[in-house]
Structure 1
Amino acid sequence: MGLLHDLRNSSRLGILVAVAAATVGVIYGYDSSNIAGALLFMTKDFGLTTGQQQLVTTAVVVGEVLGAVFGGALANKIGRKKSMVLVAATFATFSLVSALAWSVPTLVGARFLLGLTIGISVVVVPVFVAESSAPAIRGAMLVLYQVATVIGIIAGYLVAWALAETESWRWMLGMAAIPGVLILLLLLRLPDTPRWYMMRGRREDAKRVLAQIEPNTDVDAEIADMAAALQEEEGGKGKTTKYLREMFRKPFLRATIFVIGLGFFVQITGINAIVYYSPRIFEAMGFHGNFALLGLPALVQVAGLIAVFVSMVLVDRLGRRPILLTGIGIMIAANALLVAVFTIGSDFGGALTFFGFLGLLLFTVGFTFGFGALVWVYAGESFPARLRSLGSSAMLTSDLVANVAVAAVFLTMLTRLGGAGTFVVFGVLALAAFAFVFKLAPETKGRPLEDIRHYWENGGTWPTDGPAEQIAPADRTVQSDAK
């Protein structure tokens, strides 16, 4: 009820902008899962070894790392909207190139370029959504990106399952161009964010868009806050280097450590091993047939999608920390269950197979409820405007570097350590992630974006009494009306 009330009180444009931006997650999710199905059949066509399968999977993630490195600077230079339009267009193009690949090297090259565009998207989207949403619904709108990502993952598995009888892996990869084109058409209608307009000195454009997105706010006061936060941008050239130095000095060093560490733990705990290689894990559990290898992973992701919706409803009510810690706790329990399942016996069947499936389902639910939803929230909220896109870039680069490691070695781990050893490793990493989040994660629920800097400036705690910026969003509106 609370979320529905906040949505009803939000502007139509604000919701449209956030929803349209978040749907870019569909293409990220689709690519993550359709390669799992395509690998089953391209392995036969190209005679891929285990190492080559990992290479084809990892190539896109390596491209994502490079895209994430430059995504923040690109978003500052050409704008949040133009960056996402570029992402949608190039994603559609490189999806078709992947489908037409005639050899392993051309396939790897096409997937690297595809990853490059996805890497830009995972940096730019959280920034765009955070800067286009009212504080009351900002968390939910950022979680919506994960909703779209999981929908894309489900779609990728279902398309692979539908085409499995024909073994048409080229169609599996090429159909990714369809959501790319549709999202491109949707994005073309949107304005850029008020904060980006202010960064470029376009004050009137910023006021116009802010008034449309947050009609109940004091526009002049919000614009003044943005201008004050962006004053340091008047130093001319070399801003990116200057901001990078600022990120690695107090008071924002703590924030930088937090976002880089969070990004790393999101992936190193193993979620994309489940997404990329679910058919192989189900095979190890004794499953056979197209439905078991492609339909069951889709069913697991449906459970994950439900968990994301629950997270989206609760994130602006319970707060960020409780949801993130609960999700990681579920992942720890799931790892323990999977270790037990693989330890008990190698001959799967009956109850053992059921509990193996349940372990994967819980792992996915825990991830999407916690890490999967909250990484986008913290990517968009953790830094002041001048550092936001670079901070998002740092977080997602760390995330993708860990993703490269997992994608590159998971099949080898599964072969050499077995299922029990593999999930022991992931369980230990999940425990470390829990401790890290408990120690460093701020609670940003309901805080205006421009106020979050006070948490870091105060050494990792919220000031008990501070400047006017500490006034809650609702109170600020009331006071503005009273003026």
Structure 2
Amino acid sequence: MSSTKTSLVTIAAAFAGLLFGLDIGIISGALPFITQDWHITIHQQEWVVSTMMLGATLGSIANSWLSSRLGRKHSLLWGGALFAIGTVGCAVSVNINMMLVFRVIQGFSIGIASYAAPLYLSEMSDKAVRGKKIAMYQVMVNIGIVVAFLSDTFFSLFGNWRAMFAVLVIPAVILIFAVWFMPKSPRWLAAKGRSTEAKNILLSLRQTDREANQEYQDIMASLKVKEAGFDLFRGNKNFRRSVALGVALQFMQQFTGMNILMYYAPTIFKMAGFETHMEQMISTVFVGLAFVIVTTLVSRVTDTWGRKPALKIGFFIMGAGMFCLGGLLELIKHGHTAPLFGYLAVVMAIICIIGYAMSAAPMVWILCSEIQPLKGRDFGIACSTTMNWVSNMVLGATFLSLINGIGTGNTFWLYAALNIIFIVVTIIFVPETKGVELERIEANLMAGKRLRDLGDTDDGSMPITATITKTADHSA
């Protein structure tokens, strides 16, 4: 019973990722037709893409309050409702200004979902499969991207960008219906003083009463930390370290440059020599399919392979792929028009996405949901998710301008160099957290261990409850 219930919870929460993926994918196909219909400039195109990220940034900031006050479940419900409103608004927009307003509303809902869903999954999942459960969120993001690419390809036959947006109402309604029947997070309930409800939900989710009772005791011990949220951030240097790491991880995820391959895929493939919109969309679909397949495979080994090795390998693959893609596009730009170069550009884009799908795409969300202490989790994840969307917005709003300013090759080589730098940052600072209880990670953090050692479990440390209790009254 507990296994079935946990699986249903995972599917329902991860469905929020589908909305995220649909919104990423849909704009790449709709943008050329919006540009054609309204004759908008390059900067206006960038804002059609990036205003969604502006809204998501605002949603991430607001959700620190929403998730804490209303809970993870009700945050997801609000996210689904706002997504439906934003989607309908985009579909019926009559000018660019109206479109931008509803893109912000769409983004606000995505900011809520991208914050609440991984947080909810981390708090509901058993430590042995937590990575796999959170990775399901990223799998659903990628499925949404591919579904959007396929939908775009179909509606592009008619040039109907309004229909591309309108169909997104369906999954928004499904999300609202599915989340309605989900239980509330036991950690959120415990933090609100509803300990009996929290314990009962744990008993229904875990395989044995012993596991549920031990987890309940660890949660109650973590609540002995007196400060919370910003007060904890201001007063405790250890919490400041975990917030800084979460912010850095989300910055790294975005500045790999992979999302530009999603937002501007048809534009990039046009640079690669694919003239018709159908050719560009078919190439885009192949990229999306690679994203889904690799992320699905990686989600199965997340809790055995680990977070840190995947990040190091993935950053290397992305760096190499971006370097080669930039070189190919530069050759094509200077008159080397052999079809082989165009096909190789598609292959390099797919290699980049494979590197992203196996590493930064799922692992950063997993790590950011794991490394924050319970009393600071809402604040810490709000900070890291906000950085994700700010970075995302900067990328979306500058890509075409960078291409025009420093050139195609230099733009992609810049992202390649950043990926290599991220390998070094991962080695020095990122911990391995697979199979480690959230409360053990918190205990290591509050005990002052190095960030890369937050996942230590075999050093003879005192029990979690004792460690957290000992540090509960300390601030620096």
Structure 2 gaps, min length 5:
467-476
1:27 aligns with 2:36: no
1:349 aligns with 2:338: yes
Alpha-carbon distance, 1:215 to partner: 2.7
Q: Secondary structure at the match of 2:305?
A: coil
Q: Which amino acid aligns with 2:359?
A: G
1:205 aligns with 2:197: yes
Q: 1:381 aligns with which of 370, 384, 409?
A: 370
CA contact (8 A) 1:327 1:371 kept: yes
Q: Which amino acid aligns with 1:441?
A: V
Task: Please give the alpha-carbon distance, in whole angstroms, between the structure 1 residues aligned to 2:46 and 2:329.
Answer: 23
Q: 2:462 aligns with which of 461, 464, 467?
A: 467
Q: Residues 90-132 of structure 1: CA distance to partner in whole angstroms, max 9, x if unpaired?
A: 1111100111111111110111111111111111111100011
Task: Please give the alpha-carbon distance, in whole angstroms, between the structure 1 residues aligned to 2:422 and 2:15.
Answer: 28
CA contact (8 A) 1:337 1:355 kept: no
Alpha-carbon distance, 1:467 to partner: 1.5
Counterpart position of 2:471: none
Q: Secondary structure at the match of 2:264?
A: helix
Q: What aligned pairs does 1:145-156 form with structure 2 within 5 A after superposition?
A: 145-156=137-148
CA contact (8 A) 1:24 1:183 kept: yes
Task: Please give the alpha-carbon distance, in whole angstroms, between the structure 2 residues aligned to 1:417 and 1:174.
Answer: 37
Identity %: 27
Counterpart position of 2:299: 312
1:272 aligns with 2:259: yes
Counterpart position of 1:3: none
Runs of 4 or more above 4 Å deviation = none
Alpha-carbon distance, 1:72 to partner: 2.3
Q: 2:85 aligns with which of 93, 110, 134?
A: 93
Task: Please give the alpha-carbon distance, in whole angstroms, between the structure 2 residues aligned to 1:468 and 1:187.
Answer: 35
Q: 2:222 aligns with which of 222, 226, 229?
A: 229
Q: 1:392 aligns with which of 381, 385, 393?
A: 381
Counterpart position of 1:475: none
Q: Which amino acid aligns with 2:220?
A: A
Q: Secondary structure at the match of 1:231?
A: coil
Task: Please give the alpha-carbon distance, in whole angstroms, between the structure 1 residues aligned to 2:162 and 2:215.
Answer: 50
Counterpart position of 2:276: 289
Q: 2:288 aligns with which of 273, 279, 301?
A: 301
Counterpart position of 1:102: 94
CA contact (8 A) 2:82 2:108 kept: no
Task: Please give the alpha-carbon distance, in whole angstroms, between the structure 2 residues aligned to 1:82 and 1:138.
Answer: 22
Task: Please give the alpha-carbon distance, in whole angstroms, between the structure 2 residues aligned to 1:143 and 1:31.
Answer: 19
Q: Residues 411-438 of structure 1: CA distance to partner in whole angstroms, max 9, x if unpaired?
A: 1112233321111110111112111111
1:172 aligns with 2:164: yes
Q: What aligned pairs does 1:365-376 form with structure 2 within 5 A after superposition?
A: 365-376=354-365
Q: 2:241 aligns with which of 254, 262, 270?
A: 254
Task: Please give the alpha-carbon distance, in whole angstroms, between the structure 1 residues aligned to 2:406 and 2:357.
Answer: 26
Task: Please give the alpha-carbon distance, in whole angstroms, between the structure 2 residues aligned to 1:303 and 1:333.
Answer: 17
Counterpart position of 2:4: 12
Counterpart position of 2:67: 75
CA contact (8 A) 1:71 1:121 kept: no
CA contact (8 A) 2:233 2:239 kept: no
Counterpart position of 2:150: 158
1:142 aligns with 2:137: no
Task: Please give the alpha-carbon distance, in whole angstroms, between the structure 2 residues aligned to 1:154 and 1:357.
Answer: 16
Task: Please give the alpha-carbon distance, in whole angstroms, between the structure 2 residues aligned to 1:351 and 1:452.
Answer: 50
Alpha-carbon distance, 1:83 to partner: 0.5
Alpha-carbon distance, 1:470 to partner: 9.6
Task: Please give the alpha-carbon distance, in whole angstroms, between the structure 2 residues aligned to 1:240 and 1:466.
Answer: 26
Q: Which amino acid aligns with 1:138?
A: R
Task: Please give the alpha-carbon distance, in whole angstroms, between the structure 1 residues aligned to 2:337 and 2:352.
Answer: 19
Q: Residues 169-200 of structure 1: CA distance to partner in whole angstroms, max 9, x if unpaired?
A: 11111211111001111111111111111011
Q: Secondary structure at the match of 2:237?
A: coil
Task: Please give the alpha-carbon distance, in whole angstroms, between the structure 1 residues aligned to 2:28 and 2:232.
Answer: 39
Task: Please give the alpha-carbon distance, in whole angstroms, between the structure 2 residues aligned to 1:95 and 1:244.
Answer: 36
Alpha-carbon distance, 1:340 to partner: 2.6
CA contact (8 A) 2:233 2:240 kept: no
CA contact (8 A) 2:2 2:204 kept: no
Alpha-carbon distance, 1:387 to partner: 1.4
Counterpart position of 2:472: none
Task: Please give the alpha-carbon distance, in whole angstroms, between the structure 2 residues aligned to 1:38 and 1:350.
Answer: 26
1:409 aligns with 2:398: yes
Counterpart position of 1:450: 439
Structure 1 gaps, min length 5:
1-8, 472-483
CA contact (8 A) 2:149 2:288 kept: no
Task: Please give the alpha-carbon distance, in whole angstroms, between the structure 2 residues aligned to 1:278 and 1:351.
Answer: 18
CA contact (8 A) 1:10 1:134 kept: no
Counterpart position of 2:319: 332
Alpha-carbon distance, 1:217 to partner: 4.8
CA contact (8 A) 1:14 1:134 kept: no
Task: Please give the alpha-carbon distance, in whole angstroms, between the structure 1 residues aligned to 2:290 and 2:155.
Answer: 23
Counterpart position of 1:183: 175
Scaled by the length of structure 1, the TM-score of the pair is 0.91
CA contact (8 A) 1:79 1:192 kept: yes
Q: Which amino acid aligns with 1:468?
A: P
CA contact (8 A) 1:72 1:124 kept: no
Q: Which amino acid aligns with 1:400?
A: W
1:61 aligns with 2:53: yes
Scaled by the length of structure 2, the TM-score of the pair is 0.93
Task: Please give the alpha-carbon distance, in whole angstroms, between the structure 2 residues aligned to 1:381 and 1:437.
Answer: 16
RMSD: 1.7
